[in-house]
Amino acid sequence: MRASTEVGAVLARESLHAALADPALEAINFLNEVIDRHPTAISFAPGAPFAELLPDLDLGSRFDRYIAHLREARGFDDARIRRHLYQYGPSRGLINDLLAESLRRDEGIEVDPDDLVVTAGCQEALLLVLRALCRDASDVIAVVNPCFAGIAGAARLLNVPLLPVQECGDDLDWEQLETALRAEREAGRRVRGLYVAPDFSNPSGAVLGLEARRRLLALAQREDLLLLEDNAYAFTAADGSGIPSLKSLDSDRRVVYLNTCAKICLPGARVGFVVADQIVVDAAGRRSRLADELATLKSMVTVNTSPIAQAFVGALLLEAGGSLAELARDKAARYRSNLRHLLGALERELTPQPGEVRRVSWNRPAGGFFVSMKLPVAADADLLAHCAAVHGVLWTPMRFFHIDGGGAQALRLSCSYLTHEQIDVGVRRLAGFLRDHRVGGFAPAQALEGVVS
Amino acid sequence: MRASTEVGAVLARESLHAALADPALEAINFLNEVIDRHPTAISFAPGAPFAELLPDLDLGSRFDRYIAHLREARGFDDARIRRHLYQYGPSRGLINDLLAESLRRDEGIEVDPDDLVVTAGCQEALLLVLRALCRDASDVIAVVNPCFAGIAGAARLLNVPLLPVQECGDDLDWEQLETALRAEREAGRRVRGLYVAPDFSNPSGAVLGLEARRRLLALAQREDLLLLEDNAYAFTAADGSGIPSLKSLDSDRRVVYLNTCAKICLPGARVGFVVADQIVVDAAGRRSRLADELATLKSMVTVNTSPIAQAFVGALLLEAGGSLAELARDKAARYRSNLRHLLGALERELTPQPGEVRRVSWNRPAGGFFVSMKLPVAADADLLAHCAAVHGVLWTPMRFFHIDGGGAQALRLSCSYLTHEQIDVGVRRLAGFLRDHRVGGFAPAQALEGVVS
């Protein structure tokens, strides 16, 4: 509890930066309040990793593993190891070689370790890329909509305008995309990049097929823009079913590849990374890589990613033989199992009774943390508060993830951190909620005659 | 070494954000190149902590210490400890209570733990404060000049204009400050804050006296601006000689207090913090604190500071009985000893010979990492390259730290990470450099007749 004395400097909120006045923030605060107010509700809201998959508490042995690697593979002595772990380190990072090797082995992405920047989570990587690419107010970033709230947050903080590109199921609305790009060009604005999470996107769970990926790469080349690929949930694909990442298909350095170790290793490390092998040329013809520029910008944001945090991730990676995919294997299986369980429970509990018509629908992703569900009414804060209080189950309004005010009648269900038993109970409560008269997710068949054509 | 194939997307540097085109960056790159090119030179350039003061490699026992604290003082069980260390945590931080308690004991600063935000180093704290306070291009931050390069970097990244306030020895140019504030107001701009490092400033080593601090607090109230106090080097003051921090003198919530654990604990943790107890009121009269707003912005930059890194700092703090000052005691003594040694060596080696006049001068701080030296010629990149190649000693041109193009004929000497022996050798080399004809730091007395009035 805070001290109650309230003397002294007072700042008007409207005098602060507009990123703090965004309605999305109020919405998120509201969501958090609802969660706090209903601690016994089953929550399909947060996309946090499953607690039982977190490593054991023996941190010491992990660091010993990484220190042994520094000694054996890199020939460091104690003094050098101490400097490596405890001193300021390079902005670019310390475990770039391990991450680059993992990309080569897991995804066939050949990348120079120096073209990779280790960041304080993927969020910082997003911020750095937006900052580097957008010079002024005429520079725009296109974003597949709905999108991860972090890209919208980074853009707001930097005053970078976003251009929504509509997702249509497991594809994009190509016509809208081409039209929007043309309109921006005609208005004198430059679309510098297109942010896309092609694999089990947060929030929708959508996956872009191989053909759509190739089409995006061709479009990026034609329109001279970069693709900002967020790979956060690709690891959840079943063995052999994953579609090649944009970066692994990229022969023209069109893709800036962003990833996080939060889901694969652990969130508490706050380690992410970005691959940016694009060539930068100045007026005198001197060349650098976009990664060099991102590292420079990073020196103005966090200086360098904690070496201790990097060492922890490095140790986990070494334990898994240097492969993020190997490290992710058990976790991915657990998340797929959770998702199958959620989809099974939805199928079972939301089957219409005889004489009843279902007015809710949802997608059936094969991976990721999220299912997207459409309702016949607005899935807003009021409805969420009602659902929590009366039905004891929580979800996230999909409009939190829309940058154009859309998504009013949809919600996101996350199953990443629940047990199967919690999922079963949660879905039963959800079925009650959907049959609530405020939602009208099921209706008598005859009542809809003349409504459904 | 990077792959030599250079096909694919090419970005023109001038199409990237202007923070990447800043001449200061080129200068810093140049400095780093010079350092790399002369590995055997004695370097008075970097302000890094002394290597022998870094903790031993037994990381496991440190985490055990922090885990024991969570168990005993906070009653956490294993599952909760795992979540605390490994999951996403609150943007505001995890060790706020330990840091707030340390501020109370060490500095008499009474602060609610919730009014403190733990950041990924002090650099992120600077970025968050600038972002929160500056709404648009008409918002300006005043900066005591010369200043820490990090504040200039954060401002460039956010397009925040800086207003230089001249430092004069151990005081400010109050007339210039008042005139500048008036001019900004008349031009329709709002000066939102004044960044100042009152204790052994980086780069100059200057200290603001108690009277100047009170004057600054009164000015802040009168002009309705906040003081952004960077406390990074205050810990190096000799016992009993420290001047109260601005925050400890602040009865009007005028001071946003910034600090880093890099020097006191270790740089590799990348943990800093900011105290922002200012009241924020929205149009509907709802109140929050500036710290709440900074935590919200942090969710758009790095989400949260690595719990593992925070745990490491928490463990060090617990080992020192909960006091940053206690934790810093031995380090501070070492840095003061280095500084005394440097100042003694300068006095000894730079005493004019009979018939010789000294044309260089320097200040004599009682703490901090830095000494500021004035030359009769420009201390620029060319001179540095010459000094490194011919005399085997390195320093930092002071103009790197000036935001107004000043400081041309001055350099910064840092002694934080050198041994006494290295300092002795370095200062002898520096004496040779200053007697070099390109510098002319010493001249025959008669040659100056008619020059010096």
pLDDT, tens digit, 9 for 90 and up, residues B414-435? 999 899 999 999 999 999 999 9
Asked if A12 and B139 count as a contact pair (C-beta separation under 8 A), the reply is no
Which of A199-208, B25-34, B63-72, B435-444 is predicted with the least confidence, judged by mean pLDDT? B25-34
| B153, B269, B293 member nearest A20 (Cβ) | B293
Closest residue, chain B, to A93 (C-alpha)? B268
pLDDT tops 70 at residue B320: yes
Nearest CA in chain B to A293: B20
Rounded CA separation A275/A255 (Å): 8
Cβ distance B279 to A10 less than 8 Å, yes or no, reads: yes
Is B59 in Cβ contact with A302 (below 8 Å)?
no
Give dist(CA A373, CA A365) in Å, integer.
12
Per the CB < 8 Å rule, is B83 touching A9?
no
For residue B372, with 0-12 CB atoms within 10 Å meaning exposed, 13-18 middle and 19 or more buried, which class applies?
Answer: buried
Tens-place pLDDT, residues B339-359: 999 999 999 999 999 999 999
Q: Say yes or no for a CB contact (<8 Å) between A127 and B293.
A: no
Asked if the Cβ–Cβ distance from A253 to B81 is below 8 Å, we say no
Separation in Å, CA of B440 to nearest CA in chain A = 35
| Average of per-residue pLDDT across A166-185 | 96
Q: Does the CA dihedral A29-A30-A31-A36 come out positive or negative?
A: positive
Q: How confident is the model at residue A452 (pLDDT cuts 50, 70, 90)?
A: very low
Q: Do residue A120 and residue B270 have CB atoms under 8 angstroms apart?
A: yes
Tell me, what's the pLDDT at B270?
95
Query: Taking CB atoms and an 8 Å limit, are A306 and B307 in contact across chains?
Result: no
Do B78 and A85 count as a contact with CB atoms less than 8 A apart?
A: no
pLDDT of residue A29: 76
Is the CB of A266 less than 8 angstroms away from the CB of B306? no
Pairs across A and B, CB distance < 8 A: 307
Which among B52, B302, B331 is the top mutation candidate for probing chain A, defined by the most A β-carbons within 10 Å of its own β-carbon?
B302
List all residues 6 or more positions away from B442 whose beta carbon is below 8 Å from its beta carbon.
B352, B353, B356, B357, B358, B359, B360, B434, B435
Q: Give chain B positions within 8 Å (CB) of A9.
A: 224, 226, 252-254, 278-279
Distances (CA, A) of B356 to A286, B50, B248, B352, B409: 46, 36, 48, 5, 21
Tokens linked to A43 = 């929550």
Q: Which of B61, B67, B297 is closest, CB to CB, to A157? A: B297
Residue of B nearest to A56 (CA): B82
A85 contacts B16? CB cut-off 8 A: no
B51 closest CB neighbour out of A6, A83, A289: A83
Cβ separation A87–B49 shorter than 8 A: yes
Asked if B369 and B415 touch (Cβ cutoff 8 Å), the reply is yes
For A113, phi then psi, to 5°, come to -55, -30
Q: Nearest C-alpha of chain A: how many angstroms from B354? A: 45
| pLDDT (0 to 100) of residue B452 | 47
Task: Give bridge partners of residue A412 from the DSSP assignment.
Answer: A372, A396
Percent of chain B with pLDDT over 70: 97
Residue A1 pLDDT grade (very low, low, confident, very high; cuts 50, 70, 90)? very low
Q: Do residues A309 and B312 make contact, with C-beta atoms less than 8 angstroms apart? A: no
DSSP label at residue A119 = E
| Out of B79, B154, B268, closest to residue A307 by CB | B268
Average pLDDT value for residue range A222-240: 95
- How far, in Å, CA of A203 to CA of A371, rounded? 8
What residues in B contact A191, CB-CB < 8 Å? none
- How far apart CA A129 and CA B432 sit, in angstroms, is 46
Distance from CA of A50 to the nearest CA of B (A): 9
Chain B partners of A150 at a C-beta cutoff of 8 Å?
300, 303
Q: Flag if B63 and A61 touch (Cβ within 8 Å).
A: no
pLDDT, residue A32, reads 79
**Distance of alpha carbon A367 from alpha carbon A67, whole angstroms:** 35
8 Å CB contact of A293 and B16: yes
Give the type of residue at A54: L
The mean pLDDT value for B295-311 works out to 95
For A276-303, what is each residue's pLDDT tens digit? 999 999 999 999 999 999 999 999 999 9
Q: What percent of chain B has a predicted confidence (pLDDT) above 90? A: 81
The minimum CA-CA distance between B350 and chain A, rounded to whole Å, is: 33
Q: Which of A82, A135, A270 sits opposite B305 (nearest CB)?
A: A270
- 3-state secondary structure labels for all residues of B122-161: HHHHHHHHHHHHCCCCCEEEEEEECCCHHHHHHHHHHCCC
Tally of CB atoms within 10 A around A422:
16
Contact B278 A120 (CB under 8 A): no
- Judge: A135–B18 Cβ closer than 8 Å, yes or no: yes
Chain B residue nearest residue A159, CA to CA: B158
DSSP run (H or E) holding B241: none
Q: Is the pLDDT confidence value at A5 over 70?
A: no
N- to C-terminal Cα distance for chain A? 58
The closest CB to that of B11, out of A89, A150, A290, belongs to A290
Q: Quote the CA–CA distance of A407 and B273 in Å, as a whole number.
A: 38
Where does the pLDDT of residue B450 fall: very low under 50, low under 70, confident under 90, or very high at 90 and above? Answer: low
pLDDT at B172: 97
Return the H-helix or E-strand segment holding B186: helix B174-186
- Put simply, the answer to whether A299 touches B153 (Cβ < 8 Å) is yes
The closest CB to that of A302, out of B87, B88, B123, belongs to B123
Most B CBs within 10 Å, among A5, A20, A162, to test the B interface: A20
CB contact under 8 Å between B154 and A300, yes or no, is yes
**Mean per-residue pLDDT, B80-87:** 89
Residues of chain A found within 8 Å of residue B133, distances taken between Cβ atoms: 16-17
CA distance A267 to A137: 33
Which two three-digit tokens encode residue A39?
């601690």
pLDDT band (50, 70, 90) for residue A453: very low
The Cβ of residue B433 has, within 10 Å, a number of other Cβ atoms equal to 21
The residue that leads in pLDDT, B33 or A123, is: A123
By Cβ distance, the residue of A17, A87, A282 closest to B267 is A87
How does strand B272-275 pair with strand B116-119?
Answer: antiparallel
A264-A265-A268-A273 Cα dihedral, nearest 10 degrees: -70
CB contact under 8 A, B57 and A82: yes
* Predicted local confidence at residue A360, as pLDDT: 97
Contacts of A290 in chain B (CB under 8 A): 11
**What's the pTM?**
0.95
DSSP SS3 for A280:
strand
pLDDT of B416 reads: 92
With beta carbons under 8 A apart, name residues in chain A contacting B158.
158
The shortest CB-CB distance from A306 to any of B19, B135, B306 is to B306
Across the interface, of A19, A282, A303, the residue whose CB is closest to B13 is A282
Q: How far is A60 from chain B (nearest CA, A)?
A: 3
Inter-chain CB proximity A281 and B12 less than 8 Å: yes
Q: Is A381 helix (H, G, I), strand (E, B) or coil?
A: helix
Per-residue CA distances from B111 to A17, A451, B163, B249 (Å): 25, 61, 30, 13
Q: How many helices (H) does chain B have, and how many strands (E)? A: 13, 19
> Hey, are the CB atoms on A283 and B135 less than 8 Å from each other?
no
Does residue B100 register a pLDDT over 60? yes
Average pLDDT, chain A: 93
Residue B130, beta-bridge partner list: none
Q: Which residues of B touch A60 (CB under 8 A)?
A: 58-61, 63-64
In tens, the pLDDT along B187-235 reads 999 999 999 999 999 999 999 999 999 999 999 999 999 999 999 999 9
